[in-house]
Amino acid sequence: MIFRKILLLTLLTALILSTGCSKEPTVSESSSESSFASIIITPEKSEVSSESSSSETSSDSSEHSSVPEKTPSSGESSVPSITTSSTPETSSSAPEETFPKDYRTLILVNPWNHIPEDYTLELETVQGNYKMDIKAAESARNLLEAAAEAGFNMQLCSAYRTIERSAYLYERKVNQYIGYGYSEEDAKVEAARWVAPPGTSEHHTGLAMDLVSAEYWGYYSDLEHAYEEFDSFEWMYEHCAEFGFILRYPKDKQDITGITYEPWHYRYVGVEAAEYIMENGLCLEEYLEEIK
Ligand SMILES: [Zn+2]
């Protein structure tokens, strides 16, 4: 009888404990013990800029921009995104386990595919103030290290970008074209060829980075297609896949990607996909179509 009581008590305790566990709230802050600042954010919960701006150097003429990127500070507060109108329920981050396995690394964000409202990411420093999602950050650092060993001092000029940041860059570009005499409608179309409208920039995923060699800045002040003539580009093109990165906007795929050729923009997709994509000269859209 006593034994039964003990058994019942044990079962009851187990039941209470397990119920408690299932109610565990979604983790919103990383308990990562790494020395890198690590925060989970959603596109809706955008960051307050850290006052120390990055050393972004250039270009009005592309997704890349001369205005310093804002990077999250660890004491960030949530600022409503100007592009989303989600309810609190949909904007709270869902547990990662509910996403398909490749939800992040193979996520497609392009002019026709907005970043999902429930997309979450955990940022980690790659270089200076530039941060990427933890799935890509370590590989990016390894890639930079390998490039350095090969004699190339690669410098990031863009990585994770908030929706607000994209909105700012896009608006600026639209206004530039309006200044050239374009109608507002035409200005928006033209601007979108160079700067992804908010919500459609791959930089929102934390899986993309823009980088050129330090040497390049000795010759150019903007990001230009001429970067493809540098040895560092050749090295990157040849070795990026070993670290899970692809050249995301190839010259001959502009109709499919919707983005002009960008020899500086690399995207993390994981080693397996990257090697297949680079070996077969595909773009991400084509790869995703193939593995459907
Ligand atoms: Zn880019």
Residue that has been written with the tokens 């997704």 in this structure: 63
Q: Which string of DSSP letters, residue by residue, matches 186-214?
A: HHHHHHHTTSPPTT--GGGGT-EEEEEEG
pLDDT digits (tens, 9 = 90+) for 234-257: 999 999 999 999 999 999 999 999
Please say whether the dihedral angle defined by the alpha carbons of residues 264, 270, 271 and 276, taken in this order, is positive or negative. Answer: negative
The domain spans of the chain are 46-291
Task: Give the helix/strand (H/E) hosting 289.
Answer: helix 284-291
CA 157 / ligand 1 centre spacing (Å): 9
Percentage of residues in the chain with pLDDT exceeding 90?
A: 59
CA 247 / ligand 1 centre spacing (Å): 10
Which of 29, 262, 285, 289 is labelled catalytic? 262
pLDDT digits (tens, 9 = 90+) for 92-113: 343 444 434 455 799 999 999 9
Reply yes or no on whether 262 is catalytic. yes
CATH 2.60.370.10 matches 46-291: no
Whether 70 contacts 47, CB under 8 Å: yes
Confidence of residue 39 (pLDDT cuts 50, 70, 90): very low
The pTM score is 0.68
Whether 266 contacts 246, CB under 8 Å: yes
Q: Which string of DSSP letters, residue by residue, matches 39-97?
A: -EE-SSSBPPBPSS-------SSSSS-SSPPP-B-TT---B--SS----HHHHSPPPGG
CA 16 / ligand 1 centre spacing (Å): 49
CA 248 / ligand 1 centre spacing (Å): 9
